[in-house]
Amino acid sequence: MIKHDVVIVGSGLAGMRAALEMCKDLDVAILSKVYPSRSHSGAAQGGIAAALGNSEPDSWEEHLYDTVKGGDFLNDQDAVEEYVKAAPDVIYELEHFGCVFSRTPDGKIAQRSFGGHSKPRACFSADRTGHTILHALHEQLLKHSKSIKIYSEWYMHSLILDGDRCNGVVVSDIRTGAVEVMQARAVIFATGGYGRVFNITSNAFAGTADGVMAAFRAGIPLEDAEFVQYHPSGLYRQGILFSEAARGEGGYLLNGEGDRFMEQYAPARMELAPRDIVARAAQSEMDAGRGVDGKDIIHLDLRHLGEARIMERLPQIRQLGIDFIGVDCVKDPLPIQPTAHYSMGGIPTDKTGHVITDEQGTRVNGFFAAGECACVSVHGANRLGTNSLLDAVVFGELAGRSALAYVNTVGHAKVNESHEKTKVLEQFENIFQQNGSESYNDIRDEMKTVMTENCGVFRDEDRLKVCIDTIQKLRERYERGKVTDKGKVFNSEIYEIIELGNMLGMAEIIATAALARQESRGGHFRTDYPKRDDENFLKHSLTYPKDGELEIKYKPVVITKHQPAERTY
């Protein structure tokens, strides 16, 4: 049995920031199924929000209001307030760590405009902001390598809960296939999102719901799972991200007729309306047959920005266009379509990072979550661009601080090693032994297609029922799958199969929560209930496991400063 004071699962921005918060006092382990520097936080491009006011006067109050309005008033405003207030210091700290930021002529951190933010608030590093922050934190991790043990290419299988207390995780070393119990006084999940359940997604192959489903299987509900963000500018057919910064820098969105169609949907903010509104507008244009060449294509036009500006501010975007679709955005518009991008929902936590299990805020002792896998909720029904990197760093730090305080009050609890280990070994053995004929690849493809087609930008009761029905059938077929690689060394096939199991579970939760929410709010749009319904649905959903079925309960939204108002841009 491996023993540490704290185990952090996931090594993106949230996980690494949490580790740095505790490493001076505790023996910390951080686990990644890839390498820390390969975490998906690194794919974030456009920026990280903070009201620094480096190019225009700004305030946390405005950041708060923009975030709440952007989230369609489902955000818990007490948490949002702490979060936006913490933002400037968090950015300065990253800068002090050595993070490489683009600069204003007088040497301050440069800031640009972003969708839904009323001020230029996005601190950035060209168009690779996530990458530079990830590497700055990774550098700090290496600096503190004596007190932080990095487990690269280890996979987390399950959470060890004993009543209301968390005592560790069961993991395996991908390189050797060895299953181990990791005993810890506290566990922090920073496992990211689950966009891989969709066909068109900007997410890495690693975004497969491992963390959220491990929590769910341990009996913890998932909050607001129905709220998935579709980013307006994914590369056509591939879904690879073209940063909103392209529009922040002045890019246009054009339909097949060459019109800047946002005029019809958000005349005041145009291309810089929040993502849910822009994605819906783009999808509506395509559905009405106004896509480019009649296809599901919208044009992202940057030509008027000129080569110099593009090379200074958006060099990666340009290269991605050239490499992946043979289009140079200096000369031609980029073909895009909405792509599943971010999960607003996740493991419910309070604003200190403690995982909670009900509307009373009952804590799971010793279990914390931060970043995309968690739902605090600061993003409500729709996250604003550049608010997610901030979420990861702010709540990574807070979760680390909370875990540190908690660990100082408890020792290691007893863990039944063989019992915990056996459960995971059995899962491996079941997959190896089941002499099925079903192709896991077909199951995965069908899941992704049914989710994008029926649980995407626009949803309705019939489509969601098709979705749930299909997923349930796929789950049955999953039990009869056929595995080819039965080895122990770096068996990536078996891990993909386990991930698929997690995704099937998550897909059903998303669709079920979406079916229950009979209104339209933020990223969740029901064509059969096209209006927001504050009377019945101004509340967070909590989806629980119950006797193999799903049970949905709700908890109220915390409203402090801003009463829900009509949302126009």
Partner 1 sequence: MATFRIKRYNPEKQPEPYYEEFQLDIPQGATLLDCMNQIKWTLDGSFTYRMSCRSAICGSCAVKANGHALLACQRQASHLVKNGDTIVLEPLGNMKPIKDLVVDFKPFWDKIDKIKPYLQPKTRAPEKERLQSPEQFKRIDDSSTCIMCGSCYSDCNVLEVNDKFLGPAALAKAQRFVEDSRDGKTHERVKELSKPGGIWDCTHCAECVERCPKPARPFDRIKEVMTVALEERVTNNTGARHAISFTKSIKSSGRLNENTLPVESVGYFNVKGLFDLLPVGLRMLFKGKIPPILHKSIDDVDDVKRIFMEADKE
The three-state DSSP-derived secondary structure of 51-114 is CCCCCCCCCHHHHHHHHHHHCCCCCCHHHHHHHHHHHHHHHHHHHHHCCCCCECCCCCECEECC
List, in sequence order, every residue forming a beta bridge with 49; answer none if it has no partner.
122
Indicate the SS3 state at residue 543: strand
Dist CA 194 CA 507 (whole Å): 9
- What's the sign of the alpha-carbon dihedral 56, 60, 63, 69? negative
Cβ closest to partner 1, residue 50 vs residue 253:
50
Judged by CB under 8 A, the stretch of 233-241, 342-350, 353-361, 413-421 that binds partner 1 is 233-241
Cβ closest to partner 1, residue 43 vs residue 187:
43
Judged by CB under 8 A, the stretch of 284-292, 319-327, 350-358, 530-538 that binds partner 1 is 319-327
Cβ closest to partner 1, residue 98 vs residue 530:
98
Assigned token pair, 379: 């993003």
Q: Tokens 């010793």, residue?
A: 366
Site string for partner 1, 24-63 (x = CB under 8 A): ----------xx-xxxx-xx--------------------
Dist CA 199 CA 203 (whole Å): 10
> Distances in Å between the alpha carbon of 564 and those of 68, 73, 76, 277, 310?
9, 6, 12, 17, 39
Residue 77 within binding range of partner 1, rule CB under 8 A: no
Cβ closest to partner 1, residue 489 vs residue 565:
489
Residue 330 within binding range of partner 1, rule CB under 8 A: no
Among positions 452-491, residues that touch partner 1 (CB under 8 A) are: 483-485, 487-491
For the CB of residue 327, give the shortest distance to partner 1 in the complex, in Å.
Answer: 11
Dist CA 443 CA 327 (whole Å): 33
Q: Which of 320, 355, 394, 447 binds partner 1 (CB under 8 A)?
A: 320
For the CB of residue 497, give the shortest distance to partner 1 in the complex, in Å.
Answer: 9
Q: Which of 128, 231, 247, 341 binds partner 1 (CB under 8 A)?
A: 128
Among this protein's residues, is 383 annotated catalytic?
no
For the CB of residue 428, give the shortest distance to partner 1 in the complex, in Å.
Answer: 15
# residues near partner 1 by CB under 8 A: 65
Q: Tokens 């409500």, residue?
A: 380
Q: Which of 28, 79, 109, 266 binds partner 1 (CB under 8 A)?
A: 109
**Cα–Cα–Cα angle for 530, 532, 537, rounded to 5 degrees:** 120
Which H or E run includes 335?
Answer: strand 334-343
Residue 92 within binding range of partner 1, rule CB under 8 A: yes
Give rounded-to-5 percent helix, strand, coil for the chain: 40, 20, 40
Dist CA 353 CA 399 (whole Å): 4
Q: Which of 60, 73, 83, 101 binds partner 1 (CB under 8 A)?
A: 101
Identify which of 118, 319, 99 has the alpha carbon closest to the alpha carbon of residue 109.
99
Dist CA 274 CA 232 (whole Å): 10
**DSSP conformational letter for 384:** P
**From the candidates 112, 269, 275, 459, which is the catalytic residue?**
275
Cβ closest to partner 1, residue 54 vs residue 382:
54
Q: Which of 163, 257, 308, 323 binds partner 1 (CB under 8 A)?
A: 323
Q: What Rg, from alpha-carbon coordinates, does the chain have?
A: 22
Among positions 238-297, residues that touch partner 1 (CB under 8 A) are: 238, 240-241
CB-facing half-sphere around the CA of 252: CA atoms within 13 A: 14
Among positions 186-225, residues that touch partner 1 (CB under 8 A) are: 202, 204-206
For the CB of residue 182, give the shortest distance to partner 1 in the complex, in Å.
Answer: 21
Among positions 420-439, residues that touch partner 1 (CB under 8 A) are: 439
Cβ closest to partner 1, residue 53 vs residue 545:
53
Dist CA 388 CA 21 (whole Å): 19
Identify which of 446, 441, 498, 444 has the alpha carbon closest to the alpha carbon of residue 467.
446
Q: Which residues bind partner 1 (CB under 8 A)?
A: 34-35, 37-40, 42-43, 91-92, 95-98, 100-109, 125-126, 128, 131-132, 135, 139-140, 142-143, 145, 175, 202, 204-206, 237-238, 240-241, 315-316, 319-320, 323-326, 439-441, 483-485, 487-493
Q: What are the residue numbers of the active site? A: 275
